[in-house]
Structure 1
Amino acid sequence: MIGLPANRLFCLLLLSLFIPAVVCGAPVTRTLSTAEPGAGEVFDISLSIDGIDLGGVVETLPAGYAFTGTEHPDDRVTVRGQSIGFAVMNDTAITYSVTAPASGSGDITGTWEDFLGESDGQVAPSHVAVDGIETAAESAGEKPAAQEAASPVAALAAVAALFIAGWGGRR
């Protein structure tokens, strides 16, 4: 059986592994001014960026939706088809505008990369539908990609480790 000091050390080690996973959220989150724009309406998309000193974000728009513009510096924006790339240099927010098509729906997806932190990930998808009407593909049974929730396993493990650490001292 592990002795009391070793037990506490083991619990602290577990906490140091799991708590950062629980505390650290996605460094890039997306907010839409509307998820149901009117036909031809221009709407805004805001990206909140946390903790990326040097990196990039690439957003991909659904078919028919068109990038309209941004106040982000021109030399740090690249547009290729439905993808918009933003160079991030100590930025905390990027807002850009999109024009909705006459009809259509889909997911705005994105990826981010932190060059200095040597990490990357996905921005949770955001669903848009012109006038709230889903396209034929979705009414035929295809569902839009769902946002994935963070796994509760890390949070439960951290709580369990705290409980064990407190329990281990009572004898």
Structure 2
Amino acid sequence: MKKVAILLLCLCLLSLAAPALAGREAAVREVGTAAPAPGTEVTVTLSLNGCEAGGIVETLPPGFVYVNSSLPADQARVDGNRVCFAILGETAVTYRIRAPQTGGGEITGEWWDFGARTNGTIAPTRLDVGGAAAAPGPGALAVLFALAFVPLIRRCRR
């Protein structure tokens, strides 16, 4: 019984470490809100790890419109729902998009690091206009609490 409890505890600790390990990705996207009101602007931040020179292409959901970015105007280009950013030593890029009156979808992205000669994708981010953002689940912390109290409950029953 102790082996099972120790195994479960180790699995929970590994699940807590997973987000920290994921932070080592070359590019990570964060949005100000996943449920913008119709017609409002959403701030999107791309954090970059170790890219001195490269590029990022973001594909916006249908109806969302690029407004501007923290980069100089000559380092950003818009082609329909695709926004291309030239990265020259930045560690983060912030840009704003305007939400349509209804709808939603995912922002998807790709990155290129010209110096390291690597490329990859950025995890998709869901946006839903006027929708309620999904409530977070109980998460790993709740699992740890549950694991701590199960032995106490069993002892009380004896």
Deviation at 1:24, TM superposition (A): 8.0
Query: Are 2:38 and 2:100, in contact at CA under 8 Å, matched by a contact in 1?
Result: yes
- Give the 3 Å change call, closer, same or farther, for CA 114–101 of structure 1 in structure 2: same
Deviation at 1:70, TM superposition (A): 1.2
For residues 95-119 of structure 1, what are the alpha-carbon distances to aligned partners after superposition, in whole Å with 9 as ceiling and x for unaligned? 0000000000100000000011010
Q: Where does the alignment leave 5 or more consecutive residues of structure 1 unmatched?
A: 1-21, 134-171
For residues 17-48 of structure 1, what are the alpha-carbon distances to aligned partners after superposition, in whole Å with 9 as ceiling and x for unaligned? xxxxx788311000000000000011100000
Partner SS, residue 124 of structure 1: strand
Q: Percent identity, aligned pairs only?
A: 37
Residues in 2 aligned to 1:36 and 1:105: alpha-carbon distance in whole angstroms: 9
Where does residue 59 of structure 2 map in the other structure?
60
Query: Are 2:70 and 2:95, in contact at CA under 8 Å, matched by a contact in 1?
Result: yes
Where does residue 27 of structure 1 map in the other structure?
26
For residues 88-137 of structure 1, what are the alpha-carbon distances to aligned partners after superposition, in whole Å with 9 as ceiling and x for unaligned? 0111010000000000010000000001101000000000000117xxxx
Q: Where does the alignment leave 5 or more consecutive residues of structure 2 unmatched?
A: 1-20, 133-158
Where does residue 104 of structure 1 map in the other structure?
103
Residues in 1 aligned to 2:123 and 2:107: alpha-carbon distance in whole angstroms: 9
- Give the 3 Å change call, closer, same or farther, for CA 48–23 of structure 1 in structure 2: closer
Residues in 2 aligned to 1:29 and 1:55: alpha-carbon distance in whole angstroms: 15
Residues in 1 aligned to 2:61 and 2:29: alpha-carbon distance in whole angstroms: 15
Q: Which amino acid in 2 is paired with 1:64? A: G
TM-score by length of structure 2 reads 0.68
Q: Which amino acid in 1 is paired with 2:110? A: T
Partner SS, residue 131 of structure 1: coil
For residues 42-97 of structure 1, what are the alpha-carbon distances to aligned partners after superposition, in whole Å with 9 as ceiling and x for unaligned? 11000001110110001000000000111211111110000000000111010000
RMSD over aligned CA atoms reads 1.8
TM-score by length of structure 1 reads 0.63
- Give the 3 Å change call, closer, same or farther, for CA 104–119 of structure 1 in structure 2: same
Query: Are 2:24 and 2:49, in contact at CA under 8 Å, matched by a contact in 1?
Result: no
Question: Is 1:74 paired with 2:59?
Answer: no
Where does residue 87 of structure 2 map in the other structure?
88
Q: Which amino acid in 2 is paired with 1:105? A: G
Residues in 2 aligned to 1:126 and 1:54: alpha-carbon distance in whole angstroms: 24
Number of aligned positions between the proteins = 113
Runs of 4+ deviating beyond 3 Å: none
